[in-house]
A and B are shown apart, each in its own frame.
Chain A
């Protein structure tokens, strides 16, 4: 594992760039549409008292 510190190898540079791009997007705030969607799915899923849904737990 003796790497030349002065000239990082291509793999290092590639990994750095990949991480930089990926982490940037992954670090962004989640758009509201997804929070809304999850809330909607959750609401849809909770069975109404009278309906005998086969999907309930």
Chain B
């Protein structure tokens, strides 16, 4: 096994690290800086990684620790994040999906960091509750409750959108919304 250096596998996890970083920071530039810091840390601390365990979870732990320690240092609460998540997408949502996805992201961005990361790890990355708990260094029950609260909040916001959807059929409103969305994406 001495021939396989986990450092050679770091590159395979880069895309997922970027995706996770963006869901935490909601900003591509900050996310990539964080991924860079994480890579350097992972490289130099690779001997603390236990071969045979989940390398991605280990990398994500470093990544989120980087994020939370930066957040504490910076002390500034999330501001000016509107639309940044949408801008990180390479494939712009098609016309029908545009409002839905844009609204979803808006709601998602408003969730507390802890709920956002739990949802991403379990709902998108496909981690088990146990893996997510390990990554976030909390109890499994804590992850479950964060996921549940996050889902409940998103569902609530989605249904609020249903109620206002009718008003959006008005052409003037539609034009404003569409141009705003396009503007955010260009």
Residues of A within 8 A of B (CB): 10-11, 13-15, 17-28, 30-31, 33-35, 37-38, 41-42, 45, 57
**B104 proximal to A (CB < 8 A):** yes
**A24 CB contact (under 8 Å) in B91, B151, B155, B158:** B91
Given known contacts A30-B11, A35-B11, A37-B36, is B120 in contact with A14 (CB within 8 Å)? Answer: no
- Interface of chain B, main secondary structure: helix
CB–CB B10/A38 < 8 A:
yes
Mask of B10-35 contacts with A, CB within 8 angstroms, 1/0: 11001110111011000000001001
Mask of B127-144 contacts with A, CB within 8 angstroms, 1/0: 000000000000000000
Given known contacts A14-B155, A27-B90, is B36 in contact with A22 (CB within 8 Å)? Answer: no
User: Given A21-B124, A22-B124, A25-B89, 6 other A-B contacts at CB below 8 A?
Assistant: A21-B23, A22-B20, A24-B89, A25-B19, A30-B14, A37-B39
Give the size range of B's interface with the partner. Answer: 35 or more
CB–CB B119/A18 < 8 A:
yes
**B110 proximal to A (CB < 8 A):** no
- Interface of chain A, main secondary structure: helix
Closest Cβ of chain A to B39, distance in Å, is 6
| Chain B residues, CB < 8 A from A21 | 23, 85, 89, 101, 105, 108, 124
| Chain B residues, CB < 8 A from A14 | 104, 119, 123, 151, 154-155, 158
Given known contacts A18-B124, A21-B105, A28-B90, is B158 in contact with A13 (CB within 8 Å)? Answer: yes
